[in-house]
Every structure is written in structure tokens, then in C-alpha cells.
Structure 1
Amino acid sequence: MGKFLAALIVVCALGAGIGIYYMQEYAYYEPVAPVGDDVTLVTPEGEAVAIPFEGFEAIDAYSSPIRYRACFRTPLSLEELSARFAAYNGPEPLEAPNWFGCYSASGIGEALDAGKAKAFLSVPDVTYGIDRVVAVFPDGHGYVWHQINRCGKVVFDGKPAPEGCPPPPATN
């Protein structure tokens, strides 16, 4: 009887592990079709401007506002983008599922840290406390993710919104 119970526990643990892995890597994610203005950047004056792009691939999940990831190419040079649009301070690319092959958070993060790529603000507060961030490389490859901003970091911890932040929504 003891061997049967031990085997049952192992089988249940294995099933739970497979289920959790599937939920993190595959469940909820859906492809996002481009609609024309998917890649926007914000000018220093706060104006959102759609930039030209091609080869757009994106995924998103309704289960979390920070699961959006996208890859694209733009014909605009990094110098032109840097001159026209607002840089994003403190970019932290978030990991994507392994099967979304065009996106590597570690590669993007290393390039940003080394100054080989630059991050720009795309959509501030795409949902409360979450910004859309775009990183562009000199060869025109670009990557998009959602990142918790300074207001979200504080409010999501249950504290009042810091000065300069919009009031949080009344409901979840």
C-alpha cells in the first residue's frame, strides 16, 4: 500500500508540474495581429507618433497586463529615433515564452546595458501603472514589452500613489 501511495504522490506531482509549465508557457497567450499603429513612440512633448514597421509579430494574454511582447523591424535609424522621441528610463525587458523565438529579454537587456540599443516610451499607462516600452537596435530590429512604471510599483504594493502619479482606479 505504501508503494502505491508513493507512486500516486509522484504521479500527482508530475501532473501538477506539467500543468503549471503549460499554464506559464502556452495557456492564455494569443497572437496579436498588426493593425497599423502598433508601434508608436512618444515625443518629448508627449505626442504619440506611429512609426513605420514591418515583420511585426506579437503575443498577449488576457491574464496579465504585462504579458505583451512584440518584435518588428523599422527603416528608421536609431539616430533619427533618438532625436525625435523620448527615451525610457530604467527599461527592464521581461521574459517571453520559449516558443516566441523572435524575442530574448536577456539579449535585449544586455544590449540596452551596453548602449547597443535604446529604449523609448511607447504608451504611458497602457493600463494603470503599466507602460509600453520599445527597444530599437541600430540595425532596425525592435522589441516591445509592457513594464510596471514607478506609479504602479508603489500602488501595486498597496501604498498611496506617489506625487505626480494619476489616482489609481477605484476598482480592479
Structure 2
Amino acid sequence: MLSLLAGVALYWTQVYAFYHEARFEPGAEIALTPIFGATPEVIVAENIKGIDAESSPLRFRACFHTPLSQAMLTETYQVYDTAEPLVAPSWFDCFDAQRIGSALQSGEAIAFLSVQDIVPGIDRVVAVFPNGDAFAWHQLNDKLKDNPNARFAD
């Protein structure tokens, strides 16, 4: 019985605890990094829903809509070729990592660099579908993948 309670507590901690609603107020809006520049620029993002957690920067996820076309975005902002959406908790049902990943592989969706090193070794990535549905998440960048201790060097 004790192990069952411990298992339930562990599950609840991993799936529900620590998460909070992400805020997208001035200074924390959805942004993309221009092709010619390093400073991310805020883009039009509507109906944003997001989650985040203090326990790990990799827990950030967001769903939103943008009226900006993929053509305009690819001419203006850096494409992110190594995008790998991370699975969100099942209760955050607007974010389907498998669907997003498949769409990125097929070319239906396009991923962009939002913020490089939003936390040392971790990038914010945004994927945009042709209909304007868009999704954001954090993922390890090459710096941290190549050297797991790199975040401590900064």
C-alpha cells in the first residue's frame, strides 16, 4: 500500500506539481530571432496558452495563433533545423508534440529560433503551421548536447 501511495505521489509530482501558467506580458512575449540580427523581435501572437515551471526550463510549452504567413516568417526569421518538440503533460492538451514533430518532418510546419540560450544551453523554439497555429517549447541546444557541463561554465 505504501508503494502505491509513493507511486501516485511521484506521478502527481511529475505530471501536475510545479507547473504554473506562463505569462506573456511586455518583455516576455512570443518573439523570433531575425535572419540578420541576434535580438529577438516580438511577433503577433493571439490566444496564447502556456505553461512553465521553476523546476526546469524544459517544462515551458505554449500554444497560440499568428496571422503571419510561413512565407513572410521564413524571409524574416531564422529557421531552426533541429527542432524536436518535447512531450507536454496530457492535461495541456493544445500541445501535441507527436503531431508537431511529424508536421516538422513532413515540411507542413516550420520551426524558428525564438530565443537562443533563453537559459544557457537551452533555446526557445516556435513551430508555425500554414493555418497560423503555432507552438513554442524549450529544448537543449548543441552547446549543451555536446557538453552537459557547459551551462556551469558561463
- TM-score tier by shorter-chain length is over 0.9
Q: Please say if residues 60 and 69 of structure 1, whose CA atoms lie closer than 8 Å, have aligned partners that are also in contact.
A: yes
Task: State the distance in 1 between where 2:30 and 2:107 align.
Answer: 21
Equivalenced residues, count? 152
Aligned to 2:16: 26
Q: Percent same amino acid at aligned positions? A: 43
Q: From 69, 75, 91, give the equivalent of 2:67.
A: 75
- 1:167 is displaced (CA, Å) by 8.1
The root-mean-square deviation of aligned C-alpha atoms, in Å, is 1.5
- 1:34 is displaced (CA, Å) by 2.1
Aligned to 2:147: 155
| Amino acid of the structure 2 residue aligned with 1:102 | C
Q: From 80, 89, 99, give the equivalent of 2:81.
A: 89
Task: State the distance in 2 between where 1:34 and 1:124 align.
Answer: 18
Name the SS of the counterpart of 2:59 in structure 1.
coil
Task: State the distance in 2 between where 1:168 and 1:155 align.
Answer: 10
Once the two structures are superposed, the pairs formed by residues 10-159 of structure 1 within 5 Å of their partners are 11-36=1-26, 37-45=28-36, 46-156=38-148, 158=149
Structure 1, unmatched stretches of 5+, are: 1-10
Structure 2, unmatched stretches of 5+, are: none
Residues 114, 19 of structure 1: CA spacing in aligned structure 2 closer, same or farther, 3 A cutoff? same
Q: TM-score, normalised by structure 1?
A: 0.84
